[in-house]
Structure formats: C-alpha cells, structure tokens
Chain A
Amino acid sequence: MNPLTIILVIVVLLVVYAIVIYNGLVTLKNRVDNGWAQIDTQLQRRYDLIPNLIETVKGYAKHESEVFEKVTAARAGMANATTVGEKAEADNALSGTLKTLFAVAEAYPDLRANENFKELQVELTNTENKISFARQFYNDTVARLNIAIQKFPRNIIAGMFNFKECEYFKTDSQEVRTAPKVSF
C-alpha cells in the first residue's frame, strides 16, 4: 500500500465518522424541538382556558378585581414571552397568580359548587400536570444534547455546524420532580 492510499483511507474514515456524529446531533436537536413543542402545546392550552375561568369567577366574586388584573397581566406576559427563559419565567408567574385565584375562590361556596368552575379547575390541574411532564421530557433531552455538544470530539463537529446548547426550562415550583438515579 502506498502512502497516498493510506491517507485516503484515513480521510474517508474521518468523513464517515463526522457524518455519524453529525446525524446523531441532528437527532438530538429534533428531540429537543419536539420536547419544546410539547411544552408549548400545554402552555397554549392553559392560556386558552384562563379567560373562561376569569369570567366564571367574576360571576361570583366581583370585588376581587385585583386578582383578576394580576392573572390577566401574567397571561399577557405569557403571550409576549419568546425565548425559553422568558416563557419559563412567565409560566412561573402565571402559575403563582392562578394559585392566588383558586385560594380566593375558596371563600365563595357558591362558586366552588359551580359545575363549570369545577370542570375548569380539574382541566387546569391536569394541564399543570402535563406541563410538568413536558418540562421533564424537554429538560432531559436538552441535557442529552448539551452533553453531546460539550464532549470531545463531538464538540468540534458541533462547532463546525453551529449546533448551539439549548436553554433549560427552569421552574421555581416547590414540587420539582427530580430524576431518580437508575442503576443496574
């Protein structure tokens, strides 16, 4: 074998290796995008439920206008948020104000007995639950992508093709679901 052939073989192997790494990164990036879409769907779902909720509560508790304003403002903040970090922040703010709203509702027995209100409460709880699951899935995929981008030699390929680390969807909620350590 002459030196030229050897060099050629090495170059071909390197190119194949680079392609494999590149494809792996594309897969990870798509999973992150998919995870983000899941969060977005649930955030949108909650966004759509809120006007209905406010209308229902208003029917029984007209004087709590301060709470309504806060929820409406937080909801507007949600609409204006664009980046992951902003959305996470807006999400936390909205969760907080919704909790206040439900706490206020406790003082109105007629409201609590309202079928529509009960349904909305269940719907919102379920959506909150789904948001936390979607966040968990998203953050896990982001972790996988970020690790892949940071590690040698994948960081070289990632740098060449401009793969960027993604932002985590952070939460300040009390009941953070932490990943258990799994070992066999």
Chain B
Amino acid sequence: MFQAIAKNKFRTTMIVAMIFVFFAAIIYFISYFLLEMGNIAVVYGVLIAFIMSFGAYWNSHKIVLKMHKARPATPEQDAKLRNILEGLCIAAGTPVPALYVMEDPALNAFATGRNPNNAVICVTTGLLNNLDYYQLEGVVAHELAHIKNYDILLQTVAGIMIGAAIIASQMATRMMFWGGGRNRNSRNSKGGGAEIIIFAIGIIFIILAPIAGQLLKMSLSRNREFLADATAAEFTRNPEGLASALEAIGGSSIPLKNASNATEGMYIATPKSELGGRKSSNLFSTHPPINKRVEALRNLR
C-alpha cells in the first residue's frame, strides 16, 4: 500500500506539472495573439500560472469550505463522527484531518486539502442523519483514502487550474470572434510562415482547451474513485459498510444546494443537480456509476 501511494504521489506531481504547463501555454497564446503583447507574453503566462497554482495550493480548502458554508464539527454534537474518524486515522496511520459539517439534507461528503497534514473532511447533515454507524464509517474511510492517496491535492489544485484555463480559453474564443481578423492581418505583415503555424496551433489549443481539460479531469478521478473505495475497505475491513452507504446515496434524490461543476469531482458521488439529476453514465462524469462501485466492493471478499 505504501508503495502504491508513493507511485500515486509521483504521478500526481507529474500531472500537476503538466496542467501547469498547459495553463501557462494558454495564457501565453491569449496574451501573445489576442492582446498583442509580443514576447513578454511568455513571462505573463508563467507568472499567472504560478500565482494561480500557489493560490490554489495554499487556499483551495478554505475557498471550498466557504463556498459550501460548512461549519467545524463540534465534539458534543458530532461525537459519533469524530470517533469514527479518529479510529480510522489510527487504521490508516495518518494525522486526524479537520472535520466539517454542511447543513444540507442531501447525502454527500467530500475531502479537500493538499496533504494528510493539511486536510479537511466535510459531510452533510443529511448523511449524518440517514446512514448507520458502519455506513458512515465506510464514507469517512473513503474520504480518508482520498487524503492518504494524495487525490485531494490533484482534485483541488488541478480542479481550480483547469477551471481557470477553461474560463480563459472561453474568453479568448469570444475575443477572436470579435477582433481576431484585425489581429491576424497586423501580425502577417510583421512575421513569417512560422508565426502563422504557431498562430494556428494556438487557436486550436484555445478551442480544444475546455474539452481537453474536462477529459483530463474525469480520467483522473474515475480510477481514483475505485482505488479510494478499495483503500477504504482496507481501513474498515468491512466493504459492506461503504457498499450499502453508496446504495443509500445513489437512492436518494435530494439535490445538493451548493454543488457546482468545479467541485463535483471531490464528492463521494456525483451530486444531483437541481434540474433533476444527470445520468451517472455520462461520458464526462467524474465518477464511475454507483452500481459498478458497489459491485467492485462486494467482490473484494
């Protein structure tokens, strides 16, 4: 298990680096071709990417908690939850993460942070009220597994960076639509053939960025959900707890109030949207279908 985690950690670092380059490239293309900044655009690209990623690295969990209006769990009110978490942390050999509760009737939970020493687990009151002890233990173990496997780092940093890249490229596409022609003419008079090729690549890059980002995000999280389920079973030695919890979560149709696209990858299961729920087999879904996960858990024994 320790080796698998070390490998996962390395892969996470590589992916974060890739996303960083991807993001810097987008900013570069935008500022070079659309804002006509010339070569200084490289500096802007790297600088903005740096600021974004460091901001995400240090503050993402605070932003996420604020967004969800979560409150810290109190020892009196949430004693059961606290005890479950403390026991599981002993089993996992990790420090005890900060525990938050979200006042929401929906059944969901998420983990965030950057490493096991700076991590947060947040559950909804709906989850606390509707699941029994072993189901709750399974869910908390799943979130703890995300922390121990360093999925949270990827989820928060990558999620914010990709989100920003998508916004930037959407802005760029609109700008091209309104003023792109003039830019290309003025550049042609100065540059040679190579510049046209770079320009073409840049445009393709900007157009494809949202799709690429989305694909990257979902490919990252789908396998990790299965891994986190398996790790959770390793902590609790009771796959049935999580399996039945997932069934309960899948069977509930209460929408999560503060769910948004940017954070959906962090939850234990894709939050139901206010508009009547999406299909979990969706191509762009960040989670594998719940029945597949339940089946995988029940096959562990």
Contact = CB atoms under 8 A, between A and B. Distances in A.
Interface of A: 31, 34-35, 38, 42, 122, 126, 129-130, 133-134, 136-137, 177-182, 184
Given A34-B93, A130-B86, A181-B301, 5 more contacts: A126-B83, A136-B91, A137-B91, A177-B236, A182-B233
Among B86, B93, B230, B236, max chain A CB count under 10 A is at B93
A29 to B, nearest CB: 14
A179 B234 contact: yes
Given A126-B83, A136-B237, A177-B238, A182 B300 contact: yes
Nearest to A178: B237
B87 interface: yes
A179 B231 CA distance: 11
B278 to A, nearest CB: 27
B240 to A, nearest CB: 10
B234 A180 contact: yes
Nearest to A134: B90
A181 B93 contact: no
Given A126-B87, A129-B87, A130-B86, A180 B237 contact: yes
A97 to B, nearest CB: 23
A122 B133 CA distance: 13
A178 B88 CA distance: 15
Contacts of B86: 126, 130
Contacts of B239: 180
A180 B90 contact: no
Contacts of B227: 184
A38 B90 contact: yes
Nearest to A38: B90
Nearest to B92: A137
Contacts, number: 49
Contact of B234 (A122, A130, A134, A182): A182
A101 B246 CA distance: 37
A181 B235 CA distance: 12
Given A133-B90, A134-B90, A179 B237 contact: yes
B137 to A, nearest CB: 9
A136 B233 CA distance: 13
A86 B248 CA distance: 43
B230 A182 contact: yes
A126 B234 CA distance: 19
Contacts of B300: 180-182
Contact of A133 (B88, B226, B301): B88
B237 A137 contact: no
28 contacts: A31-B93, A34-B93, A38-B93, A42-B90, A122-B79, A126-B86, A129-B83, A129-B87, A130-B87, A133-B88, A133-B90, A134-B90, A134-B91, A136-B91, A137-B90, A137-B91, A137-B92, A137-B93, A178-B237, A179-B234, A180-B237, A180-B300, A180-B301, A181-B300, A182-B233, A182-B234, A182-B300, A184-B227
B83 A177 contact: no
Given A133-B87, A181-B300, A35 B93 contact: yes
Contacts of A134: 90-91
Contacts of A137: 90-93
Interface centre among A31, A42, A130, A178 (most CB of B within 10 A): A130
A161 B230 CA distance: 36
A182 to B, nearest CB: 5
A34 B93 CA distance: 9
A129 B237 CA distance: 13
Q: Which 6 residue pairs of A and B lie closest in terms of their CB atoms, listed nearest first?
A: A177-B237, A133-B91, A180-B300, A133-B90, A126-B83, A133-B87
A59 to B, nearest CB: 25
A181 B239 CA distance: 11
Contacts of A181: 300-301
Nearest to A181: B300
Contacts of B236: 177
Nearest to A31: B93
A184 B225 CA distance: 13
B115 to A, nearest CB: 18
A19 to B, nearest CB: 19
A135 to B, nearest CB: 9
